[in-house]
A = this chain, B = another copy of it.
Amino acid sequence: MNTNIKWSLPAVCFVWQLSMIILFGVFVRYNEESDTHWVDYRKENNITSDIENDYYFRYPSFQDVHVMIFVGFGFLMTFLKRYSFGAVGFNFLVAAFGIQWALLMQGWFHSLDYTDGKIKIGIENLINADFCVAGCLIAYGAVLGKVSPVQLLVMTLFGVTLFAVEEYIILNVLHAKDAGGSMVIHTFGAYYGLSISWVLYRPNLDKSKHLNGSVYHSDVFAMIGTLFLWMFWPSFNSAIADHGDGQHRAAINTYLALASTVLTTVAMSSLFEKTGKLDMVHIQNSTLAGGVAVGTAAEFMLSPYGSLIVGFFCGIISTLGYIYFSPFLEEKLKIQDTCGIHNLHAMPGVIGGIVGAISAAAATNTVYGDLGLENTFDFTGPFAKRVPTIQGGYQAAGLCVALCFGIGGGIFVGLVLKLPIWGDPADENCFDDEIYWEVPEDEESVPPILAYNNHMIPNKHADM
């Protein structure tokens, strides 16, 4: 197979980046809070202090989300012994392209100023762009080590486009709520990636089996990713929640769900190993499932124990997924899922959608307060007459939309990526940085037995 990407990769990067510049030139401008006219806007609107600029409500969360996207997702995938450059490097490339395209796609749907036809951006757009890219990075997890960077860029181009459409349908048309994106981000992203991986099934992948595993230090690197995702997940789920109690509550709920997940993950990991030892794969991944599953309901009055319960079950289900479901997926359904995104994002995402639907349907004026209920679910404007039970139905509908876009979009994009023009690696070269990276000659990493064969025999002969 030809894995030379000397022309295709630079061409795609240059052309797409130039397109971004042109489209931004035509469409994208600062919004009233990031424009120098803010000083006038403040005066006209009796805003008493600069601190009420949305920037100060959201910037700390934004930076945490940014860390999750680039360090969190990137390092989580460094667990493979010889694919750390690809994990962290291609994650970097794909996310850097994706956030630009997402600003445009989401901008057209959500931030278009009809008076002048421009997209007006501020801090919330940056967060949403990061969110949108998260969906594509989740999908990357399923195909890690098996695709070329050009394929990843194509996956991202289509992924962001599909994301913006399903997001618009779910949030605006159906008026479902999904602050932490259990449906919009995780369910969509995971099924998108799994479907692509299904179409790109490699029957002879075990030719590179020796590289599809970790070494001691690569597992420690992966824990950097795990922990930054885990720690900053409260910021993820609260980043675009309502000012005030909305952000506050979303952070608390996520903090609790994640804590609970860690304990049940450890319990299951120990219980299902013969000698009670822990498996790093579970610790690196399943501990995060609670954050995914509490995404939709994070800003609702889920209550602290509700969050703990969600985390409790997700730790169990996600770990069981790694133990039983991943082998089943690969052998029976022919889905090769390198990072196990089915267990970390797909199942918890669906659970999150269901939890969201139920907790929305169960919302009452007693618990929320009249004003609180209206605020939390935005029962205003055209949705002023909607009641919680109906809202629950629309939430469930949103979950179905995310599933359909993920599976349908993934199959379509998978077929595109099957074309023999993208420079993907041969079965025996998967999970190997050598294909796309200049890898340093690494004295340390030469297994002694090879060193013996390659270098030592001549020496030995000379010696004798």
User: C-beta contact mask, A203-235 vs B, less than 8 Å → 1, else 0?
Assistant: 000000000011111011101100110111011
Q: Which residues of B contact A301 (CB under 8 A)?
A: 30, 35-36
Q: Which residue from B122, B244, B268 sits with its C-beta under 8 Å from A38? A: B244
Q: Which residue from B29, B231, B436, B446 sits with its C-beta under 8 Å from A448? A: B446
Please tell me if A442 contacts chain B, counting CB pairs below 8 Å: yes
Contact A13 B264 (CB under 8 A): yes
CA distance A304 to B30 in the complex (A): 7
**Chain multiplicity (copies):** 3
Contact B445 A447 (CB under 8 A): no
Q: Which residues in window 42-68 of A have CB below 8 A to B? A: 42, 48-57, 59-61, 63-64, 66-67
A96-B262 contact, Cβ under 8 Å, with A78-B220, A219-B85: yes
Q: Which B residue sits closest to A48, measured CB to CB? A: B48
Please list 14 pairs of residues, one from A and one from B, whose beta carbons are closer than 8 Å in the complex, sorted by A's number. A13-B267, A14-B263, A17-B260, A20-B260, A21-B305, A30-B245, A35-B249, A36-B301, A39-B245, A123-B251, A215-B440, A216-B444, A447-B451, A448-B452
Q: Which residues of B contact A100 (CB under 8 A)?
A: 256, 259-260, 308
Q: Which residue from B20, B60, B270 sits with its C-beta under 8 Å from A9? A: B270
- Ranked nearest first, the 9 interchain pairs of A and B with the lowest CB-CB distance are A6-B276, A36-B372, A448-B451, A96-B262, A50-B244, A38-B245, A13-B267, A443-B447, A24-B305
CA distance A10 to B312 in the complex (A): 13
In the assembled complex, the CB of A319 is this many whole angstroms from the nearest CB of chain B, namely: 11
Q: Which residues of B contact A287 (CB under 8 A)?
A: 92, 96
Please tell me if A243 contacts chain B, counting CB pairs below 8 Å: yes
User: C-beta contact mask, A297-314 vs B, less than 8 Å → 1, else 0?
Assistant: 000010111001100100
Please tell me if A334 contacts chain B, counting CB pairs below 8 Å: no
Segment at the interface with B among A187-195, A278-286, A386-394: A278-286
Segment at the interface with B among A322-330, A350-358, A453-461: A453-461
Q: Which residues of B contact A375 (CB under 8 A)?
A: 36, 39
Contact B277 A437 (CB under 8 A): yes
Q: Which residues of B contact A252 (CB under 8 A)?
A: 30, 34, 121-123, 126
In the assembled complex, the CB of A140 is this many whole angstroms from the nearest CB of chain B, namely: 15
Q: Which residue from B93, B249, B267, B456 sits with its C-beta under 8 Å from A262? A: B93
A30-B303 contact, Cβ under 8 Å, with A227-B70, A266-B9: yes
Q: Which B residue sits closest to A261, measured CB to CB? A: B96
In the assembled complex, the CB of A332 is this many whole angstroms from the nearest CB of chain B, namely: 25
Contact B444 A445 (CB under 8 A): yes
A369-B305 contact, Cβ under 8 Å, with A251-B123, A436-B278, A463-B457: no
Q: Which residues of B contact A71 (CB under 8 A)?
A: 224, 227-228, 231
User: C-beta contact mask, A27-41 vs B, less than 8 Å → 1, else 0?
Assistant: 011100111111110
In the assembled complex, the CB of A371 is this many whole angstroms from the nearest CB of chain B, namely: 5
CA distance A271 to B230 in the complex (A): 37
Q: Which residues of B contact A453 (CB under 8 A)?
A: 459
Contact B440 A213 (CB under 8 A): yes
Contact B216 A445 (CB under 8 A): yes
Contact B263 A96 (CB under 8 A): yes
Contact B312 A21 (CB under 8 A): yes
Contact A369 B39 (CB under 8 A): yes
In the assembled complex, the CB of A237 is this many whole angstroms from the nearest CB of chain B, namely: 13
Please tell me if A275 contacts chain B, counting CB pairs below 8 Å: yes
Q: Which residues of B contact A99 (CB under 8 A)?
A: 255, 259
Q: Which residues of B contact A372 (CB under 8 A)?
A: 35-40
CA distance A271 to B371 in the complex (A): 59
Q: Which residue from B304, B373, B444 sits with its C-beta under 8 Å from A447? A: B444
Contact A244 B55 (CB under 8 A): yes
Please tell me if A108 contacts chain B, counting CB pairs below 8 Å: no
Contact A223 B270 (CB under 8 A): no
CA distance A276 to B228 in the complex (A): 32
Q: Which residues of B contact A29 (CB under 8 A)?
A: 303-304
Q: Which residue from B57, B92, B223 sits with its C-beta under 8 Å from A88? A: B223
